[in-house]
Amino acid sequence: MRLLLVEDYEPLRNSLTRGLRSEGYALDVAAEGEEAWWFMSSNDYDAIILDRMLPNIDGVELVTRLRANQKATPVLMLTARDAIEDRVEGLDAGADDYLTKPFAVPELLARLRSLVRRGHGQAEATIHIDNLTLDPSAKTVKRGDRNIQLSPREFQLLEFLLRRQGAVVSRTELWEHLYDFEQDTVSNVLDVLVGRVRKKIQAADEVNLIHTRRGQGYIAAIEE
């Protein structure tokens, strides 16, 4: 999952950057409004964490522009102002959720998972396909009675494919949701990553759940 973090207070920005990347998220980071708008208008994100008070362009204006450009990306707005009218203004502008500083990082992560789930049109907290279950909160994957150990990047790849199960995901789209703006593209890195995940989740007697569509991308599906 690829996120955009927009926060002008450097200590908080650095702390959240470390925490989100340690959770396996691909992350682009902006410190002020103009830079944030460039990221928002140029890329697709699974969610945006947006500070309300920013230099140049504030968070309310940014989310207003985002919605005016027909982008439905879930937005979690951060603010040090807890007045009801401030929260109402942000929500009316198009933010999906609000978190008042200071906050606990586990709560931010839980709200992010909820926003991503809703952004993909899913109500359940866990994701299922065949006898495989992925739990984004606990960061666990099980197939039948077998626990499957995945690296953070492998987990994010599997989660993204499962959230889009039944639909072909192009290599470009998959890359853009797994790696941040500063990451260099390596031609075969996705093939290697998909191959590792496929090998880990599929025992010899189990049906294949991740399929390659030559010239198109990948699809998570149960196929005969």
> Buried (b) or exposed (e) across 84-102, using 16+ Cβ within 10 A?
eebbebbbebbbbbbbeee
Which one, of 116, 128, 130, 126, lies nearest residue 75 by Cα?
116
Is the same domain home to 184 and 212? yes
How far apart CA 106 and CA 124 sit, in angstroms, is 19
First to last CA, the chain: 29
Is the same domain home to 133 and 110? no
Is the same domain home to 144 and 115? no
How far apart CA 219 and CA 136 sit, in angstroms, is 19
- Tokens 């150990």 belong to residue: 149
Stated pTM of the model: 0.77
**Band of residue 5 on the pLDDT scale cut at 50, 70, 90:** very high
Last residue of a domain, one of 119, 145, 171: 119
Helix (H, G, I), strand (E, B) or coil at 151: coil
Mean pLDDT of 54-80: 93
CATH classification at residue 107: 3.40.50.2300
Mean pLDDT of 142-170: 93
* Domain coverage including residue 154: 127-220
Mean pLDDT of 144-152: 93
Per-residue pLDDT tens for 36-60? 999 999 988 999 999 999 999 999 9
Is the same domain home to 112 and 211? no
Count of structural domains within the chain: 2
Helix (H, G, I), strand (E, B) or coil at 77: strand
Last residue of a domain, one of 119, 147, 174: 119
Q: Looking at the predicted structure, is the pLDDT value of residue 12 above 70?
A: yes
Per-residue pLDDT tens for 173-201? 888 888 877 665 556 888 899 999 999 99
Last residue of a domain, one of 51, 85, 119: 119
Is the same domain home to 167 and 133? yes
